[in-house]
A and B are shown apart, each in its own frame.
Chain A
Amino acid sequence: MEILRAEQVHYSYQTKYQTIEAVRGVSYSFETGNMYAIVGESGSGKSTFLSLLAGLDLPTKGNVYVEGEDMAVLNRDSYRREKASVVYQSFNLFPLLTAQENVMFPIELKGTGKREAAKKAAELIERVGLREQVLYQFPQMMSGGEQQRLAIARAMAAGGKIILADEPTGNLDSENQQNIVQLLKEAAHTMEFAVIVITHNPEVAAEADYVLRMRDGKLIN
């Protein structure tokens, strides 16, 4: 079923000296249970488009619909809290919270009690294939692959159905890259997430159900 839809989405960055049109009229519909890959040259607008899907900002023109509702009228804080999570190339974990606490964070943010959150976090951490020992470790003490798994676990923890990932494998070796892709694929196929992954890596793109190609802020297929 359709969960996210972009309709003639435009976005431009306003800098001191110029206006950069990063996204120019992208329309696409995303469904749960699928993994999408967005590919394209550097600067083609992939990250910008993903940020719009994540509700980090609103399109300057056009609309993003979440389950049929216009993002512009939604509370985007609660959208991110409840429906969509982002996974980054640089993991963006809380360095001063343990692995478990990192995953607990979005759960507790929704008002779940500490005990239950801890339990749920532990389950998710197991689910993404991390050893139990990492629960009390800080992110710095973990490998890149482990950190990215943790980031995915945190994304899943939010309880929404959308995972947005911006080059999640960019900092990883090929073995870990493979694992992460499988994890994301699993999330899409068995846990019914809509997974949207930006990647430069054709191997990663090859695993996706759909591949979106961008150039100069536009979709070209």
Chain B
Amino acid sequence: MLLRNSIKQIMRTPVKTILFLLLVTFAAALSTVGINLWQMSNSNMNDFEKVFTTIGTIEQKKSVLNKMEQWDAMEQTSRYYYGSKYNPPIPLSVLDFDGANYIQKTEKRPFYGAYLPDYQLFPPDRNGGRGVIIVEFTVNEDCVPDHKIEINIEKQIYTKYRFNTTTVWFCDRYNPNPDQLYAGKTYVMAMLETPYRTNDTSYGYVYTPIEMIGSWQYSEEGEVLPDEMQGILYEEVTEGFYETEHGKRWLNLVECMELPYHTIPVTATNSTNLLMPFYSGTSYIITGEDISEEEYAHGDKVCLVSNSFARINNLVVGDKIMLPLYYANYRDSAGGAYRTSEVWAGFNMLNAKGEPYPVFYEAEYTIVGLVMTVGGGSSGYTMAKNEVIIPTKSIQASDKDNIVAYGPMMGYTTSFQIPNGSMKEYKEAFQKLGLDELELRLYDKGYTELRAGLDNIRSMAFILLAAGVIATVLILVFFCNLFITKQKKRTAIERSLGMSKWKCTQSMISGILLIVLFGSLIGSLMGYLLTSTMANVVSGSSSYDLTYTIGSVRNSVGGETVAEYAYPAFSFSAITCAIIILFAFMLALAVIANNLRYEPLELLSEKTE
């Protein structure tokens, strides 16, 4: 009866009631749209913060570009090329400057060689790329090998492949002043077959000595350690030669020749985010997980291995692999070092003592993830075949006696991570340093632009939400006043007829709440549907991808969606609706309580209506 009378009376002022219903619906819709947009933009922002990273690379620029000459005896001409020279490497510490706010400090990554004789690294028939052969040879008459001469292969000391000719063409072709060779003497050398142009259309082949016996070991400071055998191409073999220091070294070299076929590159880093192949998306974890921040921080013995390596060797995530590290390359990235050959990394294999580099650290690593690399092409910015990633901190021994190459900071070896959105500040602070010799490149995958868009949406959401809240409050206050305060008399009559205060309250409130209920339900639903539709339109039209371009490296992993646009959560709409109803209830209660303060006697004994 209470409810019926309440509704009856409210329905008998249809204009007011419909207006109230419409306004409540509108306010509820506005608030819901506001809250949903707000929630969506926040959740988008969180997602984007997780997905996006901002990294930078540093590269020391070449100081001079020298025109260099290389004599080619076979073609009787000098080839000219521009060789780059670097000033002494600029230390990493200059990047710890004021205003540099790093998530990951700048690291200059080495890669290590790990000797894995028990694993299959290459298909069995894989040509090493360079058919280096170590031989003892003689010549038939005294000569200077500044042209094509015939030599006799007296002994094959090392050859990877069958080699059954006894005489070959030979020329010390890149040496402008070759040493004299004497008939009757025996020499030892490492040589390689190289093509030369005979005329415009055809090529011939000739063996050329290569310098492998010299040591080019570097000190921790990046200086080449002195070695008397640097530059030696061939040596005379005399009686008891292999017992001499030089002779032993040739035997050591032979021993080293098989190492590259059993060596995988191991890159040590402090964060996978810093590695360009992962950043650009040409490499990604296909099975298992990335090395976690904690694992990096603790230096846990975990690693990421190449998917193909794992497959060939039947390795799965969770398996352990022993990594005996024996050399450190501080010049190249693994991808860069193995750019031209999958086996040879472009540095000499003997240390300054003339011996193979000994293992300096060995530990068992647990495989946590398998890395898939897509797209061909190899450069400093791609992953090398069989490349393994480990946390830098997991290496608990010094590599200072095992440095095979050293160079300045390069884009592919030197990178850092800064907070998203701080590119501009970093760049400005960096430029203030005046380090003209260092080239800074920053990448954020378009975060800055996207963030600006999101910020706009968020401000808009906030304005809508605020407008919705204000509208809701105003409308409810106005109509409570209209429906309740203005009907003080009704309450007074009800009281005089013996209705209790609580029943009067119910009588007054139930009709109003019913309208608020309807209005806010419809409004919230409308708001929800509206934002869902908007979300659909937005995500349909602008799901962004990870296509990006950087200077010399071009990576395009088209259409890989890295984050989904958020959709409105139904719960937020429901909560908005509930809050409006609750607020209306409390407000109505408060207003009625005010009405009930007056004793009915005063109101009712007024003499005029």
Asked if A143 is at the interface (CB within 8 A of a chain B CB), the reply is no
A35 to chain B, nearest CB (A): 20
C-alpha spacing A93/B490, complex, angstroms? 8
C-alpha spacing A167/B604, complex, angstroms? 12
Q: What residues of chain A lie closer than 8 Å to B604, measured between beta carbons?
A: 86, 88, 90, 92
Asked if B496 is at the interface (CB within 8 A of a chain A CB), the reply is yes
C-alpha spacing A92/B600, complex, angstroms? 11
Asked if B5 is at the interface (CB within 8 A of a chain A CB), the reply is yes
Most buried by A among B499, B605, B606: B605
Asked if B489 is at the interface (CB within 8 A of a chain A CB), the reply is yes
Of the residues B12, B490, B500, B609, contact of A90 by C-beta under 8 Å: B609
B146 to chain A, nearest CB (A): 120
Of the residues B493, B500, B599, B601, contact of A94 by C-beta under 8 Å: B493
B605 pairs with A77, CB closer than 8 A: no
Would you list which residues of chain B between 563 and 609 have a CB under 8 Å from chain A? 599-601, 604-609
Given contacts A51-B601, A57-B599, A105-B5, contact A92 B493 (CB under 8 A): yes
B498 pairs with A78, CB closer than 8 A: yes
C-alpha spacing A97/B13, complex, angstroms? 11
Asked if A150 is at the interface (CB within 8 A of a chain B CB), the reply is no
Asked if A79 is at the interface (CB within 8 A of a chain B CB), the reply is yes
Asked if A213 is at the interface (CB within 8 A of a chain B CB), the reply is no
B496 pairs with A166, CB closer than 8 A: no
Would you list which residues of chain A between 76 and 95 have a CB under 8 Å from chain B? 77-82, 85-86, 88-94
Chain-B contact segment, one of A106-114, A128-136, A189-197: A106-114
Most buried by B among A80, A91, A154: A80
A141 to chain B, nearest CB (A): 13
- Measured CB to CB, the nearest residue on chain B to A155 is B497
Q: What residues of chain A lie closer than 8 Å to B185, measured between beta carbons?
A: none
B605 pairs with A88, CB closer than 8 A: yes
C-alpha spacing A170/B607, complex, angstroms? 8
Asked if B1 is at the interface (CB within 8 A of a chain A CB), the reply is yes
B595 to chain A, nearest CB (A): 15
- By secondary structure, the A interface counts as mixed
Asked if B46 is at the interface (CB within 8 A of a chain A CB), the reply is no
Q: What residues of chain A lie closer than 8 Å to B608, measured between beta carbons?
A: 90
B497 pairs with A158, CB closer than 8 A: yes
Asked if B63 is at the interface (CB within 8 A of a chain A CB), the reply is no
A94 pairs with B607, CB closer than 8 A: no
Q: What residues of chain B lie closer than 8 Å to A91, measured between beta carbons?
A: 609
Give the size range of A's interface with the partner.
20 to 34
C-alpha spacing A47/B604, complex, angstroms? 11
A56 pairs with B498, CB closer than 8 A: no
A90 to chain B, nearest CB (A): 5
- Measured CB to CB, the nearest residue on chain B to A48 is B601
A96 pairs with B8, CB closer than 8 A: yes
- Measured CB to CB, the nearest residue on chain A to B13 is A96
Asked if B9 is at the interface (CB within 8 A of a chain A CB), the reply is yes
- Measured CB to CB, the nearest residue on chain A to B499 is A109
A94 pairs with B9, CB closer than 8 A: yes
C-alpha spacing A127/B593, complex, angstroms? 38
Q: What residues of chain A lie closer than 8 Å to B495, measured between beta carbons?
A: 56, 77
Most buried by A among B13, B493, B500, B600: B493
B498 pairs with A82, CB closer than 8 A: yes
Q: What residues of chain A lie closer than 8 Å to B493, measured between beta carbons?
A: 92-94
C-alpha spacing A157/B20, complex, angstroms? 35
Of the residues A51, A81, A82, A86, contact of B499 by C-beta under 8 Å: A81
Would you list which residues of chain A between 140 and 170 have a CB under 8 Å from chain B? 154, 158, 166-167, 170
Would you list which residues of chain B between 487 and 507 have a CB under 8 Å from chain A? 489-490, 492-493, 495-500
Q: What residues of chain B lie closer than 8 Å to A158, measured between beta carbons?
A: 497-498
C-alpha spacing A47/B607, complex, angstroms? 12
Of the residues B12, B489, B499, contact of A92 by C-beta under 8 Å: B489
Of the residues B1, B9, B497, contact of A81 by C-beta under 8 Å: B497
Given contacts A56-B600, A96-B9, A114-B1, contact A166 B498 (CB under 8 A): no
Q: What residues of chain A lie closer than 8 Å to B500, measured between beta carbons?
A: 77
A119 to chain B, nearest CB (A): 16
Given contacts A90-B608, A92-B604, A114-B1, contact A80 B8 (CB under 8 A): no
- Measured CB to CB, the nearest residue on chain B to A55 is B498
B345 to chain A, nearest CB (A): 94
Of the residues A56, A96, A101, contact of B496 by C-beta under 8 Å: A56
B9 pairs with A166, CB closer than 8 A: no
Would you list which residues of chain B between 446 and 495 have a CB under 8 Å from chain A? 489-490, 492-493, 495
A90 pairs with B1, CB closer than 8 A: no
A73 to chain B, nearest CB (A): 17
Would you list which residues of chain A between 40 and 82 have a CB under 8 Å from chain B? 47, 51, 54, 56-57, 77-82
B13 pairs with A85, CB closer than 8 A: no
Given contacts A56-B599, A92-B604, contact A97 B8 (CB under 8 A): yes
How would residues 281 to 317 of chain B score, 1 for a CB under 8 Å from any chain A CB and 0 otherwise?
A: 0000000000000000000000000000000000000
Would you list which residues of chain A between 161 and 183 have a CB under 8 Å from chain B? 166-167, 170-171
C-alpha spacing A170/B608, complex, angstroms? 10
A54 pairs with B607, CB closer than 8 A: no
B607 pairs with A79, CB closer than 8 A: no
Given contacts A57-B601, A94-B490, A96-B12, contact A80 B1 (CB under 8 A): no
Of the residues B9, B13, B498, contact of A77 by C-beta under 8 Å: B498
C-alpha spacing A190/B396, complex, angstroms? 114
Other contacts beyond A81-B498, A96-B8, A105-B497: 12, CB < 8 A: A47-B605, A51-B605, A54-B601, A80-B497, A81-B499, A86-B496, A90-B606, A92-B493, A92-B496, A109-B497, A109-B498, A158-B498
| 6 A-B pairs with the lowest CB-CB distances in the bound complex, closest first | A81-B498, A80-B498, A96-B9, A51-B601, A56-B601, A96-B12
Interface pairs (22), CB distance under 8 Å = A47-B605, A51-B605, A77-B500, A81-B499, A86-B496, A89-B605, A90-B606, A90-B608, A92-B493, A94-B493, A96-B8, A96-B9, A96-B13, A97-B5, A105-B5, A106-B497, A106-B498, A109-B498, A166-B605, A167-B607, A170-B607, A171-B607
